[in-house]
Structure 1
């Protein structure tokens, strides 16, 4: 006897299919991860777009409001300082404050340095803030808050004794017009302005201020000569400055109506003395320093606040709508891609069972695995359906033959064609026993399929099990001319149902005797291997082709289709062997070589 070591499990294909379906989905292909990524992307884009638009709109609105506040504050400060520069006191400033309040929507209050109220734009008596908005002093201004800017701390509108008379203004203007006409012929461009004192001033273009300009007899330098009204105050100012420099032991200086020191003695000390002398000279002509309070009409400090404009609201709504549109579009696209294969699965599942639909596997995520599992299920269902039909056909065929035989003989006896004798009764009884055997086998398989097959384990010796089976089949083996032997390595024991195990070994021996020609042998061998007891039933029969090995445990299957029920059995014996072995927690395998023989191996746990 020669046997190949190949062992075939009938459930191998289905097990591999289930393993493939249960395979882990790669993380980057996971449907959950993809949905989470899309949701996070949409949320991030929505939040980012909304935050960006809100920040841009808020910043723009705040900048606009701050610009309006700064413009209003500059206007208020410049106007009040201008009033102080041309008035020796604050009498009559109230109308000016009211006009400013009407234009800017603020409440404006002036107080002395000791916070005694001088004038206000309203009659409200609410308390003033603890800190003034600015100090109004035309001789110590904040150039950043003045409309004209500049760097001189003395307001240029504070001219005091330097204000020209009407006649002097007229004469200087005529002279300036002549100089302007002359300069335009040489420089190409020049403008005429009037200073707060009434003195005309000519401004040259930037191209003429690079040091290359030469007054070609137009008399521009003479325009800077002091008028009679200005000569006296200018001389007194020069004396005050030089007296200051003498005390500081600094060189004496000279300057003109522009108050620019033009001598080599120009220093920080000279500049300080000039500024101090100018302030002393102008003090009697300007209003005293005062505190300026700019508040809201309710009396609170003005703070930057913004109100979203209609354009800003429209932009915000537009971007929000765009984000919503993109969100809906992305959701629809992703949802459509996800639903399409699910609809295909649903349509395939609703098809009639007989069609055995398949669905395409287009993705490598959970849906793709579901489609693969559906296809695998459909394939297995198709196989099961085929087996069911074949089994129904086989059962009908197996039952039809003995029933036809019994009916034929009974009708023959009824018609008087045959005589009811002992031989006929024995034949009919044999046919009935065959029917009973098939029905019993089918009942065992039905109980196994329903999970109702019960075994009653008890300790037993495997040697006794083999001896019992050998004794039962000894007569049949002698009749067939086959040598039937049994041996055991040692004396293994196990826990099992003795009746069911005798049925297992008996079916294998019966199958081996049926397929072993005269002169062959059938050998039973039992041994213990670790925690298992193996029982081998080996024959020297015709063998089974390799392509048929996976089907030997199928119901009603016969390797040789030409065999009849009497020579090939019912085709249920090996199926029952597998079910009973599995009920004991064991396995059964087969290895065979055509022309050499077959070995069935039953492995049972101890």
Structure 2
């Protein structure tokens, strides 16, 4: 599976997971809300039934209940239907609203206005039989009175259930003043509600019949129910709600459809985003493949300033370095071929001349042949040192080395060459400075810098070798009063195979590798080498490296993991 598809798959999984979690949470919250709404509807239905039952108890009849049903329906927004236990519809809010009755939903609730006989603890200690007879008489009288007033009140009579419940024996002055014709209705109903002697006698007889009953309370409650059933309103079945009302059942498909739509949008967006994100990766892959096939000119267009832009810039820098390295290698091969071809051609010419007796053998001829051989040897040595330095296999035999002695030996080594060139070499070592280094390799570095200084300094000029110490850092400086180096060439002085003079001839006597080797040796000693130059004034090379500590070199010389090379004399490159 390609990287593109892996990233795309990962983003799709994340998107689907996020969308699924969102859908699940939405469904859960919706279900919770619907459950709460259903509980609220149930409570509303119970409140409606309680108020309807209260109407029946207060009025002693279901006459006029339609007004209460309409009020409750308008107040709650619910469809309300009252039916008798026989199934007869008493009142329906749909009909009251002027449209056909809708089918009911769910089981009906019972609105029971009939009373129940309950005794307190104190009442149980008293005459429960007399209390029962009194309760029966009061209820019958009250319910008959309330029913009568409700059924016979003239238009405009608006006595409430609370007012009607006062009944005869509990005169309410306000009731007398409710309406002009109210007094006649109240007096008439009060007279009709008075019990007859036969009713009172029957009640007393039935209650006294419970005296000998072991379950006297149960018996008294049965008597109470018997004596009140004929006057109490019948229980009603109340249906709240209807088909067509807002369904509180959780509908999954719309939620699932919405989640599916979101998933589709997320997938499409993911595809577009992955293409946009992976496009730079695709370009880098193609460019890398081009580099792998040898096309070092491949580059990637850099746009923006994000991580991909940094990666593209780094890739271009790497490709540029590879191309420059390839170019340097090609120049090196050409230079080495040129350097070797000329001495070999000279050697071949002289040897053929000696073979054909064209030239007689002479010390001068053999000296020339030896010079050409030494030039070949110098080129080969430089190449070998550079290869070892680059691969990390150059051998070091480190010891405590005094920089004053080392610089003095380097000065003596070039004394004859300096005198021939008319250049004075000065030594400045004001204080002893000791470093832990390979003295031969360090002489090789200083000798290279000193030899370069002599080449660039004309007759009458000077070259100064100096050493010093600043804190834990030792310094070596090689300063000349030569022609200086052009500023644009300074950054590339230590590049391998690079020379300021591209048209170098054999007479220059060097291969362009010395400074690269010197820099590598210095780095291997944990040091640095820098250069400062001014055209027409001169150049200064500065080497900085740690001073020696007392623990370094304990137990003998420490050799780094590098193969050995010829160390018979300090090299001057």
Change (3 A) 1:400 1:290: farther
Q: How does 1:95-494 map to 2 (within 5 A)?
A: 96=85, 104-105=106-107, 113=116, 159=147, 241=168, 244-245=170-171, 253=176, 286-287=230-231, 308=249, 312-352=251-291, 353-494=294-435
Partner of 2:516: 575
Q: Residue 85 of structure 2: SS of its match in structure 1?
A: helix
Q: Residue 536 of structure 1: SS of its match in structure 2?
A: strand
Once the two structures are TM-superposed, the CA of residue 458 in structure 1 deviates from its matched residue by 0.6
Change (3 A) 1:106 1:548: same
Change (3 A) 1:72 1:598: closer
Partner of 1:559: 500
Partner of 2:531: 590
Once the two structures are TM-superposed, the CA of residue 456 in structure 1 deviates from its matched residue by 1.8
Contact 2:448 2:514 in 1 (8 A): yes
Change (3 A) 1:547 1:285: closer
- Could you give the per-residue CA deviations for residues 96-132 of structure 1, whole angstroms, max 9, x where no partner exists? 27899x98546979898479xxxxxxxxxxxxxxxxx
- Could you give the per-residue CA deviations for residues 472-498 of structure 1, whole angstroms, max 9, x where no partner exists? 211222222222232311222221111
Q: Residue 524 of structure 1: SS of its match in structure 2?
A: strand
Distance across 2 between alignment mates of 1:275 and 1:389: 130
Higher relative contact order (Cα pairs below 8 Å, separated by 6+ residues): 1
Contact 2:154 2:181 in 1 (8 A): no
Once the two structures are TM-superposed, the CA of residue 551 in structure 1 deviates from its matched residue by 2.3
Partner of 1:512: 453
Contact 1:255 1:262 in 2 (8 A): no
* TM-score, with structure 2 as normaliser: 0.62
Q: How does 1:27-106 map to 2 (within 5 A)?
A: 51-52=25-26, 54-56=28-30, 59-60=33-34, 63=37, 67=41, 85=61, 96=85, 104-105=106-107
Change (3 A) 1:77 1:371: same
Q: Residue 414 of structure 2: SS of its match in structure 1?
A: helix
Distance across 2 between alignment mates of 1:155 and 1:337: 87
Q: Residue 526 of structure 1: SS of its match in structure 2?
A: strand
Change (3 A) 1:326 1:50: farther
Distance across 1 between alignment mates of 2:478 and 2:469: 15
Once the two structures are TM-superposed, the CA of residue 334 in structure 1 deviates from its matched residue by 2.6
Question: How many pairs are equivalent?
Answer: 435
Once the two structures are TM-superposed, the CA of residue 405 in structure 1 deviates from its matched residue by 2.0
Change (3 A) 1:240 1:595: closer
Change (3 A) 1:252 1:407: closer
* TM-score, with structure 1 as normaliser: 0.59
Distance across 2 between alignment mates of 1:56 and 1:155: 51
Distance across 1 between alignment mates of 2:188 and 2:354: 158
The answer to which of 362-371 and 282-291 deviates more is: 282-291
Distance across 2 between alignment mates of 1:474 and 1:313: 100
Distance across 2 between alignment mates of 1:559 and 1:107: 108
Unaligned runs of 5+ in 1: 1-35, 88-93, 116-136, 141-152, 163-195, 203-220, 225-236, 264-269, 295-305
Change (3 A) 1:422 1:274: farther
- Could you give the per-residue CA deviations for residues 195-243 of structure 1, whole angstroms, max 9, x where no partner exists? x95x8998xxxxxxxxxxxxxxxxxx9xx9xxxxxxxxxxxx9x975x6
For the aligned residue pairs, the C-alpha RMSD in angstroms reads: 5.1
